[in-house]
Amino acid sequence: MSAYNNSWYKSGRGKLVCVSWYIVNAIIFNSSYFPVNSVKVKLFRLFGASIGKGVIIKPKVNIKYPWKLIIGDYSWIGEGVWIDNLAKVTIEDNCCISQGALLLTGNHNFKKSSFDLMIGAIHLRSGSWVGAMSVVGPGVTLEENAILTVGSVASSDLDGNSIYRGNPAVFTKKRKISE
């Protein structure tokens, strides 16, 4: 670890904004004592997130950098979700991120002694669903109406209208949506 250096990485905001966000995140978002959704949405927007209408943000949600977050209309962020967005995370309309799910945009290059930081944006297209206690890794896209089932790990893109499960997540069957 003596060769580790990620000084190239910038959060996109100054230290004062980052420290302010960490405090607000700890007190309001990553707490079970503040259930008022409308205030959470306003605070997200104040810190630079793009949040659509009808978005639900449950208690104990942890967001690294709101200014790197886009959430479309009528999406749901469940209890205990952690969005570690060193890179941009886009959550389109009508998405569900279930309890305890992790969206991780960063990892390290284990092939190098310097353990370089690597980042990749995450994109959840409309109607996609990340099951409880699942993990979406850096650079992954869930195409429209894709499902990552409970406890699964997505390390590559998931096709639309498909259901994936396991670690690593593999295709199990097509998703049929009835109106």
In this structure, what CATH number is given to the domain that contains residue 42? Answer: 2.160.10.10
In total, how many domains does the chain have? 1
What gap in Å lies between CA 150 and CA 153, rounded to an integer? 9
**Tens-level pLDDT at each residue, the chain (179 residues):** 778 888 888 899 999 999 999 999 999 888 888 878 899 999 999 999 999 999 999 999 999 999 999 999 999 999 999 999 999 999 999 999 999 999 999 999 888 888 889 999 999 999 999 999 999 999 999 999 999 999 999 999 999 999 999 999 999 999 998 87
Q: Is residue 48 one of the residues assigned to a domain? A: yes
How many other CB atoms are there within 10 angstroms of residue 40's CB atom?
Answer: 22
- Residue 5 belongs to a domain: no
Q: Which pLDDT score is estimated for 50? A: 97
CB 96 within 8 A of CB 62: no
Per-residue confidence (pLDDT) for residue 110, from 0 to 100: 86
Q: Is residue 3 part of a domain?
A: no
Instruction: Please report the pLDDT score of residue 1 as a whole number.
Output: 74
Which structural domain, as residue segments, surrounds residue 72?
15-172
User: Is there a domain that residue 80 lies in?
Assistant: yes
Is 10 among the domain residues? no
User: Domain for residue 4, yes or no?
Assistant: no
User: Rounded CA gap, 153 and 101, in Å?
Assistant: 10
pLDDT of residue 134: 98
pLDDT of 6 reads 83
Q: Tell me whether residue 57 is in a domain.
A: yes
Query: For residue 79, is it within any domain?
Result: yes
pLDDT computed for residue 102 by the predictor: 98
* Model pLDDT, residue 2: 79
